[in-house]
Chains A and B, each alone.
Chain A
Amino acid sequence: MRATSPSGNAAYEGEVQWSGELGYGTRAPEGGQSANRDDALTGTKALRDVLESHLLAEDTPIEHTGMQGRMWRAKIGAERNKKKMEATRARMKELRPPEKQPRPKRILMHPTLLLLASSRPTLPDVLVFAASAAVILVGALGVVTSRNPVHAALSLVMTLFGVAVLFIEQEADFLAAVQIIVYAGAIVVLFLFVIMFLGVDRREEIEVDSLVGQRPLAFILIGLTLVGVVVMAATAHWVTGAHQVVGPIHGHITSSPTSPYGEPAQLGKQLFTTYLFAFEATAALLVIAVVGAVVLARRPPMPQDAPPEESATELSS
């Protein structure tokens, strides 16, 4: 009795025929007898798996043609690409320039708005800045757009007070006081004196331009300048200057830290040592200005012809 393999008859595909002694018929094939290669009974693996194990093994000879080659190329190509990509990524990471310091995103941390070098602007700082900025802007617009020169002078006082508040916020107390005294107290008063003296509190026409297109041209030019300055401020590297070139604002003159110099004292110290020449030149300038003003405003003793030329020649000699 021998079981023969199927001889190709389609009806008996996958089935084994017995010989005559045990009776004709068919039965299910035993292990190892069927045409299918993935018979689990005999442990025969599928061709696919066999090929895979062959293809992945390093020492087996690999064919480069046909189905086997295509499968090999696909698999090996994917693996190699993965390794290459990872290698490239690692190299790129090494070669990439070091990351810049992350810029602070909040507008309050912008360098131009940082009020204290060592701490963040607090809410009172922001409020004071906002209030004085509003005062300054209203005053400046008042100076530029008011028809009456007296109104313009008063708006100028408002602006100067706002600027003095900002000075105090920037820890320049002495300068704020000096500004109030000199600017708002002397210069604007001088303006008002001259206005009253000349009697020019008439209304001025501000709708008519002297040149053709003067006002739009002024707005455009100055607007461009302002935009340029602000863009430069926002994108440049601030604080590139050396710190404390001349001297700290709150410095120590002696070695003991319990007697710190205040700001006016430091200002005076630098004024009389480092900037001594400028100080003396400023004093000379003030004297010249006073003399010039006296000469310019001098009334001629007698109604002669062309008194302004006389004062001009005196001034130029």
Chain B
Amino acid sequence: MPVNLPPEFKRMIFRRGMPRTPAENLQLPRRSIFWHLHPTRISAERMRIRFSWCLGGISFLLFLVTAVSGALLMIYYRPVVENAYGDILDLGHTVVLGGFLRNVHRWAGHGIVITVVLHMLRVFYTGCYKPPREFNWIVGVGLLLIVFGLAFTGYLLPWDQISYWGTRIGTNLLHAVPFLGADGPFGDHLGMRPDSDVAYLLLGDADLGQRALIRFYSLHVFILPLLAAILLSVHFWRVRKDGKLAMKL
């Protein structure tokens, strides 16, 4: 359906409008910040789905889905031990489409872990970490860790038995860090106690409780997504810059 905006508005918003000629097609990626992720040209080889399997792109799509569904979930969820579980129940029973929202957020989150790992495999098996892309591979490793961090911190938030004890297994590992954990080798000798070791830094307490919940929540909804957004920008920018995606590698 054509929208009849006055031409000056149209130019203000879209600058040039949709491309109409082949020459304008070629210019499109340079015309809009959103299309700017793409190069202007790409080799037919690179375009084949059987080369990349779209895994990086799908990971990013799922990241956007979790960001949108997560923002909506934040409206209902309170990171308080007394309310957290009840709020999740409410999402399933009283909030319109609340259960759907939570399901989509969860499955997209699981999906990211799968697609990110497969993306890493694809990049490895096509040798796409070789010069000049070494740094982008390392950025990718950072993003992989952030994905695990997001998955781990989000896992605790429903505050049910599965999430509580699943998280306990993870935080027990932190108590066992050599030198810095209360249960780790030499931790004792260095005066590490459950209320002063490296796990305490994450939990804010000797055990999983209200302080841990609010820390996991702020990591999950703000700190880690912010880091992810920064690293993603670098990652995409470097794909364009050193990828020579348009050229034969």
Pairing of A with B: no
Footprint of B on A, CB under 8 Å?
Answer: none
Footprint of A on B, CB under 8 Å?
Answer: none
